[in-house]
Chains A and B, each alone.
Chain A
């Protein structure tokens, strides 16, 4: 399949995402510059990834400036047509600011950047991104962010839960979801959510950094295996 990896000024995980899609999974990928506009920008792609980093320095608010860049109109249109849009870390923050996903992220409750490996519980394997996982499977990815505390108003939060839109939750090794294992203060230990339709996914942890044994873990492969599988069966 053909991945579009969007590059904003200040993105810094675009090379990792590109490497994982191409060198690890043998798929095609192209970088798409943030100033690109028009519907044809993304037409040829099967999945658009907004990578991690500090787009526009995260000045003003994390993801805020990137969310109004020209390419985001094309991303919006792509998502409306049902295209697969994946936002990782800063990419998730951009999707929130662009209102392609509900809610917001706040500063980590430690008020510090946190970079560590975390356990995540796969809350739903009914998405194109998680089909390769077992329902409830516990996986390990790295996180690295300063603003990852997911927040939404009570009604939005209730809707997310009701419609099974919470896809990943921070948990312990045994899958226990408790405040102690929450690295950033996210409501309901939320690490990743999807939109109602299921084609847009955003998450703070980095699956692309967990696809090779030499890097300390391969649990992230499930996301790419799911995407490639979704494309084959589509």
Chain B
């Protein structure tokens, strides 16, 4: 706005240029003129005021736009045809790492990182901008501050400047660092994923179950092998259910391990062990247990587990690896069963031989000797006594053979069943060993496989013999209890007991363990020195 002084001068000059106004004017005309002039003055003042207001507004708007320009999220540069920077916004300044005053007037090429190569690239870009009228883009490496470089994208157009009609280049400068970082991250992610897949692939090939459980024993991860062994078709495609959207999602993840995959009868025991681990117990080196498969079948797995901890050293879950040893166990059981069957056949054979050959022979001998009876009277007293001894010993021999035969193979088992035969065994033991033997039985009405009967009978025999031999008991209680899914054979004696922690290597106990294992049962020996002993055998009823 020119100053008032200048304005007045200007106005005077213009007035001098105007044609002369008539000098002799009447007073009235002068008055009118004065009035007109005054009105004019006021008009001008009003116009002036309006102009000032408008100027003020324009200044405000200009400020706004300057802010928008300066603080835009990208850098704005304006260069001339030669690439000299005429103007740059503040964002651009911080990109290049210098103050605006320093940047303005410098050629843009100052800030190129690659020297000559970058230069020619940039000038080519400029040329294209001015030749075509479209937006041109290029990527350049620029210098930030002194040492750092960064990649930037330039989007440039040519514009004609309003004030001086020169063509300028308007450049939008974008920092590609973040974008580049993202690309790098994506690449790293992909590489990581590939490594992860490789690792998983190796895991799968190893044929070992890998599984992690959380503190509530819920499966958080299980590998393909695990799924397969449990009988679930883990083709990942059909393993996804509607709830699970993760890529490695498996239908088993989210299920409680103990509730779903441990046999009902073992659940309490497993829960105890798991809780023990979660509260800081020792990691498990080797634990064998059965798991329940989808088809209702079972498999025997040998487990190793270690607890998982977070960075505060709190236990968060369990990592388990398991190998399927069902085949192994089955082979073991098969060989033991074969051994026991072989033993059993031998016994039957010997018993049969005793019964069919020896006993009748002895019976005949006895009869023959007795046929001498009438002639005894003629002998002396001594000879009579001798003769009586012979018959007595013969009778004893026959009894012994009978007892041995009965011990070897009890035909009563097949004819009268396990309960009756066991009852008889208890009675005969009570008589022969001069003890009290109580026999209880419940729930044994269901039919039982003859092999199971035989095995249980033999086990009971061993248990009784063991109690009599080692425990020095006076009262023995034998129970045979049939439960829904298992049979429990329990023997209690009031003998002197033994420390059950020590491994008993006696033939008796080993025999019992072997037989029980062969019929897939469990043995629990509960004994303390000086106190009564309780041995519990539980076998599945199948």
Do these two chains interact?
no
Chain A residues proximal to chain B, CB less than 8 Å: none
Chain B residues proximal to chain A, CB less than 8 Å: none
